[in-house]
Amino acid sequence: MRLTRWMTGWAAILLWALLALAPSARAAVLTGATWQVTGTDANGTTWGGSTLVFTQQKFELNGDASLLGYFDWIGSGGQSGREFFDGTYFSYGQVNLYGTSLLDPVGIVTAVYTAVLSADGNSLSGSWSGPNVVPGTFVADRLVAPIPLPAGLPLIATSLLALAIAARQSRA
């Protein structure tokens, strides 16, 4: 009987810890997908066919996350290149990205990006600017649907519930 109460108590503590330490409900996983980017700068250059990839996302306890990734830019005037960035995803939906380096740049420079993530987590809408940068606006749409971060939570909760029921039945 003591063992059963002990198991039930630890199961409850484990469930509480999973819920307490999981990123907030607003937190979104940005990695694992390619994002299709379209944009226009102040000179009228369009940026269709460009892509955005988040290669790393590390969540903090407050739901914010540090980001790493890159843009593959394709401009209507022949501009192209890969721009690597680091940045921050804020749990309230804002994303700030800072261009750090370029690979094979043709007519592009690193920039600073500010965007807002849509409520469904599948679209970013924002702008870019910076020194020696022609400012512009962009929209990035996720091409592959994300796997929800707490996807395993129902399985864990069901398992814990089954343990509790089994423990209760063994007492009878």
Query: What pLDDT digit, counting tens, does each position of 58-115 carry?
Result: 999 999 999 999 999 999 999 999 999 999 999 999 999 999 999 999 999 999 999 9
Task: Mention every residue, 6+ apart, whose C-beta is less than 8 A from residue 152.
Answer: none
This prediction has a pTM of 0.71
Residues 21-46: tens digit of each pLDDT:
444 445 689 999 999 999 999 999 99
* 7-11, 47-51, 58-62: least confident range: 7-11
- With a cut of 60, say whether residue 146 has pLDDT above it: no
Query: Residue 129: enclosing H or E segment and its boundaries?
Result: strand 123-129
Domain ranges of the chain: 2-22+152-167, 34-142
- 53 is written with which tokens? 């990839």
Angle at 17 between CA 16 and CA 22, to 5 degrees: 105
Angstrom distance (rounded) from CA 142 to CA 125: 12
Dihedrals phi, psi of 159, to nearest 5 degrees: -65, -45
30 or 146, greater pLDDT: 30
- With a cut of 90, say whether residue 57 has pLDDT above it: yes
CA atoms within 13 A on the CB side of 68: 4
120 or 149, greater pLDDT: 120
Q: Specify the length of the chain in residues.
A: 172
Task: Mention every residue, 6+ apart, whose C-beta is less than 8 A from residue 59.
Answer: 23, 27, 65
Quickly state the pLDDT bin for 166 (edges 50, 70, 90). confident
The second-level CATH assignment, the architecture, of 34-142 is: Beta Barrel (2.40)
Query: Residue 66: enclosing H or E segment and its boundaries?
Result: strand 65-74
pLDDT value, residue 19: 46
Quickly state the pLDDT bin for 10 (edges 50, 70, 90). low
Angstrom distance (rounded) from CA 122 to CA 104: 29
pLDDT value, residue 41: 97
**From the CA atom positions of the chain, what is the Rg in Å?**
22
pLDDT value, residue 20: 47
